[in-house]
Structure 1
Amino acid sequence: MVLPFANIGGDPEQEYFADGVTESLTTDLSRISGAFVIARNTAFTFKGKAIDAKKLGRELNVRYVLEGSVQRSGNRLRVNVQLIDAETGNHLWAERFDKPVADLFDMQDEIVSRLANALNAELIAAEARRAELSANPDATDLVFQGWSLINRGISPEYMTRARGFFERALTLAPENIEAMVGLALVDVTEGAAVLTDDPLARFAAAEMISNKALSIAPNHAAARLALGTALMCTKRAAQGIAEFEQALALDRNSAVAHSLIGYAKYLLGRGAETEAHVAEALRLSPRDPHAPRWLVWVGVSKVALNADTEALAWLRRGLEANRNYSTAHFNLGAVLARLGEIDEARAAVKAGLALDPKFTIRRSRAANALSSDPAYLAGRERQLECMRLAGVPEG
């Protein structure tokens, strides 16, 4: 439930802003798959009242309460937000936005977008923790645990465990859309991140299950993203972009869609455009659990442009944000080797092999199925040669 944001500055102009943030956030959070959000008309009956989150949770049968405040000081506006567990009263998460006052509506859109993305990840983590304590988890519990693993990083271990949760969920509920989408995402991730010897089989499976999900729920934004990714990774990047744009039409806050459009353009030989799309994704969701992957995507796009120094900086940023991305270590090792930093390159490869001992040059070359664009293929071939120099096994 989103409680009406408090205007603690007393300025009537900020009152409209606070109400606008509350209404927009209520609408946008209701788009999160599987979420139930109390309607704004009910929420606004609590405006200006002292609220006991635990009592509210019992009365309205809600698990989480989001509350916030708006305060203007000079030419700056501060928005404080916190997420409360309505069962225990504990504070789970808090965020502060402190920005110069310019266009209030633009600021409102940015704040709502960031909050919706951040809360999506926080709610998944909270529900996964709750599910772990359940003696008899249902399909929804299993789905949250699967998504929580995906958010932790891209490694064979996490993907295998996530797959198990989604498959168990589908055994209990064969038409569970969230489980289908999760399973499709595991498939495309294993293929694109070179975690399998047969990426084409993974992409085909992802396309099939995404289409099944969309036959049941054609307006499911995440299913559009999964289908678009399967298309993008099988030499149909332009069709993939069309699916990502449809996802954005369904969910304007989809930072993932922006990042995927950037990656698709890299596959089409338009890597110079990738950074701008990732920048938009980061603007909408700067602390997104998938942001490390987006940073790495800019890095590999720079490789295709022969901008190795820039590529190095982006790859390092991605790994600093989350070191559980095995392929990123190998890409970093290749760039380091090309720049003559052989010892550091081999250390990067060693870290990658610790996460994915089965990674080889042969397996990585199979990932060239993602695109037939000459610029993409030339960049990938340079990467493979330098991976070999950095110590990646031939396979």
Structure 2
Amino acid sequence: MTQSQEANKTARPLLERAIQLDPGFAEAHAWLAMSHLLGWMFWGEPEEYRSLGRAEAERAVSLDPGNAGAHSILGYVLQFDFRADEAAAEFATALRIDPNHADTWIFLGESKAHLGNAVEGIECIQNAFRLDPYPPGRCYWLRGYVEYAARRYEDAVDTLRHETTYRTGSRRILAAALAQLGRIEEAKEEARQFLAANPHFSARQWASTQPFRRDADRQHFVDGYLMAGLPE
């Protein structure tokens, strides 16, 4: 669901069907929230889907206040509402419920990068990988994202070429990391492949959805995308 538009479109009706069968299924509400948020962030769905995502995440927490995953996803959604303090509180609640909840450590790592603390973010993500040594592809995507934010471009390239995330939407970050390393031809090829699957991508539109505290950190990604040949 988190890796491609096609996967997200496949997952959403299944989540909706699960909720029809069991309206109190908090996990289904939480992941439907993620589906709506990612549709808005990455795949051109209208602004209302961000609001739908927040409503579903809040519903998940209300149904099961002791569910670490529900709090974690609500925190993730809130950061993209530019409500960093509330997001941090939800992540803290999730880890209080389950200190070993790997997804929360991953999401917290990305959040720290958005707040200008990418090195701390890498530490959070390393903790997640210790807890779950064989995570799904989205974890490699976010690890590479935070490594790029920390300007650890070689690490980002290695991470984003992992088989579980390579050839997904994370390819744009791989292209940016290669460009920052001066490997322009490789960067342009990765960008070309990314655009074949994501023809409507715009660096500026992407930037408008990202909750960076500092404009320079947001621009760092935009610069990498443009250097790789992705459209402004």
Q: TM-score, normalised by structure 2?
A: 0.88
Contact 1:188-1:229 at 8 Å conserved across structures: no
The equivalent position to 1:342 in structure 2, one of 178, 184, 187, is: 184
Q: Hey, what does 1:211 align to over in structure 2?
A: 58
Contact 1:187-1:203 at 8 Å conserved across structures: yes
Structure 1 segment 245-394 matched on structure 2, within 5 A:
245-289=92-136, 290-302=138-150, 307=151, 310-323=152-165, 326-368=168-210, 370-371=211-212, 373-374=213-214, 377-394=215-232
Structure 1 unaligned runs (5+)? 1-149
Contact 1:256-1:281 at 8 Å conserved across structures: yes
Structure 1 segment 55-74 matched on structure 2, within 5 A:
none
Instruction: Give the deviation of 1:202 after TM superposition.
Output: 3.2
> Which one has more relative contact order, counting CA pairs under 8 Å at least 6 apart?
2
The equivalent position to 1:163 in structure 2, one of 12, 32, 46, is: 12
Structure with a larger share of its residues in helix: 2
Instruction: Give the deviation of 1:362 after TM superposition.
Output: 3.6
**Distance in 2 between the 1:325 and 1:312 partners?**
18
**Distance in 2 between the 1:213 and 1:288 partners?**
23
**Distance in 2 between the 1:260 and 1:294 partners?**
8
Contact 1:224-1:243 at 8 Å conserved across structures: yes
Query: SS state of the match for residue 161, structure 1?
Result: helix
Contact 2:105-2:124 at 8 Å conserved across structures: yes
CA gap 1:197/1:183 in 2 versus in 1, 3 angstroms: closer
Q: Hey, what does 1:173 align to over in structure 2?
A: 22
CA gap 1:294/1:389 in 2 versus in 1, 3 angstroms: closer
Runs of at least 4 residues off by over 4 Å = none
Q: Which amino acid aligns with 2:217?
A: G
Question: Considering only aligned residues, what root-mean-square deviation do their CA atoms show, in Å?
Answer: 2.2
Structure 2 unaligned runs (5+)? none
**Distance in 2 between the 1:319 and 1:326 partners?**
10
**Distance in 1 between the 2:164 and 2:153 partners?**
17
Q: Which amino acid aligns with 2:197?
A: L
**Distance in 2 between the 1:295 and 1:258 partners?**
11
Contact 2:148-2:177 at 8 Å conserved across structures: no
**Distance in 2 between the 1:315 and 1:202 partners?**
31
Query: SS state of the match for residue 320, structure 1?
Result: coil
Instruction: Give the deviation of 1:191 after TM superposition.
Output: 4.1
Paired residues in the alignment total 231
Q: Which amino acid aligns with 2:22?
A: A
Q: Which amino acid aligns with 2:123?
A: A
Contact 2:204-2:222 at 8 Å conserved across structures: no
Query: SS state of the match for residue 154, structure 1?
Result: coil
Structure with a larger share of its residues in strand: 1
Q: Which amino acid aligns with 1:337?
A: A
Bigger radius of gyration among the two = 1
